[in-house]
Amino acid sequence: MEEIKLSKRLTVAAGAIREGSRVADVGCDHGKLGAYLITSGRAPFVTATDISEPALKKARELFDTLGITARAKTVLCDGLSEVRAEDADDVVIAGLGNDTIIKIICDCRWLRNPEKRLVLVPASHHERLRKSLYAAGFKIENETAVYEDRQFYTVITASYTGVLEDKGEAFCSLGKISGEDAEKYTDWVYKRNKLILSVPASRERKETAKRIVSYIEEKRQ
């Protein structure tokens, strides 16, 4: 069977999937993550969704080549709109922006279940996604920092609690970041906010940056 090779961040995301869980891979692109989860034995069934029919065609071709079409299906839809609760225990959303990820989550009522797990790999604005998750009643369980292709990523696992929390900017700047790249990630956030303090910026932005810098300095003591 053909070996599926994943990027570093998708390898971490795959490892965050609970073994034996049915998986929905939202924005699956060409289906490599879903194929890996099936062929590695981590997931018994994968539903791969995308808004692009050409992307789903590539995913179907990959599933067919690997002989896993009985355990992986593709669905043309926006987010999770055509996915049933019984088809997914864990939901992966990787490579999409903060606003899109939150919209997908908030539009899917069956995700408001503590037994469902979210595995999220935002393309950008990590701090906004953290804040939005807590505000929507979800709790971040774990985060793993990933440095890849000269860029920082975070792999977030979260689940629903129903408790709406207003987390501050300082906490949301790092969340619960961990992993071998966590210190480099922390330093990246720190330097970015130190820079804001040294260049022209709005008063509000500078005050936020100051709180984040102080927060990180306190954590490092």
Beta bridge partners of 47: 24, 73
Tell me which residue has tokens 């956030």. Answer: 189
Query: Digits of tens for pLDDT over the chain (221 positions)?
Result: 567 999 999 999 999 999 999 999 999 989 999 999 999 999 999 999 999 999 999 999 999 999 999 999 999 999 999 999 999 999 999 999 999 999 999 999 999 999 999 999 999 999 999 999 999 999 999 999 999 999 999 999 999 999 999 999 999 999 999 999 999 999 999 999 999 999 999 999 999 999 999 999 999 98
HSE of 80 in the Cβ direction (CA atoms, 13 Å)?
Answer: 26
Cβ distance 66 to 46 under 8 Å? no
Q: What is the pLDDT of residue 1?
A: 57
Domains in the chain, please, with CATH?
Answer: 8-166 (3.40.50.150)
Q: What is the pLDDT of residue 3?
A: 77
CB-neighbour burial class of residue 37 (10 A; exposed 0-12, middle 13-18, buried 19+) = buried
Q: What is the pLDDT of residue 48?
A: 98
